[in-house]
Structure 1
Amino acid sequence: MSKSEVRGLVNEVKAQVSILAAFVALMWGLEIIDTGLSGLLNQFGILPRSIVGLRGIVFAPFLHGNFPHLIANTAPFLVLGWLVMLRRTNEFFVVSAIVMLIGGLATWLVAPPFTLHIGASGVIFGYLGFLLSRGYFERRIGSILFSIVVGLMYGGLIWGVLPGMPGISWQMHLFGFIGGIVAARLLAEPRAKRRSSRDF
């Protein structure tokens, strides 16, 4: 690997760290403000079948019920978010947008009325769906092995798409996961382009 390639790789890693740090800093900053406002910001979450509740599609992933909720989401967001951008940094933004749109809109459509849905877990499940299904759609050994490794690391999270635990938005988990699968299908590399990209 040449010096210019090493320099480019280092710069890319720095960019990835900066992007993830900015997202996490925004989540933590909003939670600090929300705590000072006694939870007032949480009204910007997803409110099913309420027109004003549509704004939650954009805002809900950055809002959390309390610090334990935020702490529980921070580590998987950082790890899975970085794995999403590992091949190409800009995939992180595309996958995030698709997951937020599909997961948020579906939650708004089917979740029970008069409920509030907030938290980054829907996006996290979207990243998981993307990483697990990318190998299937691309059908190449590197992507398949990468999906298997992710499954071994975080496959246990899949049970979170099932209803059961009170206070947990399984709808955001389920539809975020589906959004990640859709993103993997849309971003699957055509065979003609595979030789020029990283093999995972």
Structure 2
Amino acid sequence: MASDDPELQKKLQQLMAEVDTEAAPASVSPISYSSKPTVSSPKKGFLERLRGNLLLPLQILAIPWTQEIIDQVFFQGRWNLPVYPRSIEGIPGIFLSAFSHGDFGHLIGNSIAFAIFSWLILTKSKRDYWITFCIGWIGGGFASWLLGPQSVHGLSGVVYTLFGYLLFIGWLERRFVPDPDVKFEVFERLNLGAEKLNDQEVRNCVYRGNYNELLRLLS
């Protein structure tokens, strides 16, 4: 019988083996991902920017507060860093006077207004904030040295500059308060912390520079 032929049986076995090999599914090696792509969360980025904006004015305020604490504790209020107009010894005050205050009342009043105005500007642009801050700090110090009637110190010049920027942006966007008396009252209460004026604050209020002109222009 043909089924007893060994050679035929061998060929049939080879043929069946080839058929089984072709019918078997090809093995697919699993794809391994070494790392997942990192996608930044918009919410996380916003919270990080918000936290940075909230901390920035407080970090700046740490400078005058440290100076005032050292002044009151170790020097009994005699370690002041004012800018003396039109004098060689007054040049360092161009850079230092903004971070020196007469007492804690003066510093608290400036700190409240500085923080509020800083946060308002930072919601728009950190770049605009730094430019405005430097103009009020160095530009205000130089203007006081060049044009000031007497020695002054404090963050008032920076606060006026920040407030002027907000008024200017409000004018551009037609969102500012139309009554100049209301604008000035709000600013004064924020800047002075609703406290009685001391001698230094009276001098600061008298010497506002172009602030009154700005209010008249915007009214």
Asked which structure has the greater RCO (Cα within 8 Å, sep 6+), the reply is 1
CA contact (8 A) 1:107 1:172 kept: no
Residue of structure 2 equivalent to 1:109: 146
Counterpart AA for 2:131: V
Superposed CA RMSD in Å reads 3.1
Alpha-carbon separation, structure 2, partners of 1:5 and 1:155: 39
Greater percentage in helix = 1
Q: Does 1:17 align with 2:47?
A: no
**Contact 1:48–1:109, Cα closer than 8 Å, also in 2:** yes
Distance of 2:162 and 2:42 partners within structure 1: 28
| Gaps in structure 1 of 5+ consecutive residues | 182-200
Taking the TM superposition and a 5 Å limit, the aligned residue runs for 1:146-157 are 147-148=176-177, 154-156=183-185, 157=187
Equivalent residue number for residue 208 of structure 2: 173
Secondary structure of 2:85's partner? coil
Q: Following TM superposition, by how much is the alpha carbon of 1:104 offset from its aligned partner in structure 2, in angstroms?
A: 1.6
Aligned-residue offset at 1:87: 0.8
Partners of 2:120 and 2:46 lie apart in 1 by 15
CA-CA distance at 1:40 after TM superposition? 4.0
Per the TM alignment, residue 122 of structure 1 is displaced from its structure 2 partner at its CA by: 1.1
Residue 144 in structure 1 maps to residue 179 in structure 2: no
TM-score by length of 2: 0.64
- What is the Cα deviation at residue 81 of structure 1? 1.1
CA offsets 1:56-95 (integer angstroms, 9 cap, x no match): 1211111100111111111111101111211112322111
Tell me the percent identity.
26
- Matched residue count: 164
User: What corresponds to 1:27 in structure 2?
Assistant: 64
Q: In the aligned structure 1, how far is the partner of 2:142 from the partner of 2:117? A: 22
- 3-state SS of 1:41 partner: coil
| Conserved 8 A contact 2:82-2:152 | yes
Structure ID, larger Rg: 2
**Alignment match, 1:37:** 75
1:73, 1:39 → 2: CA distance? 17
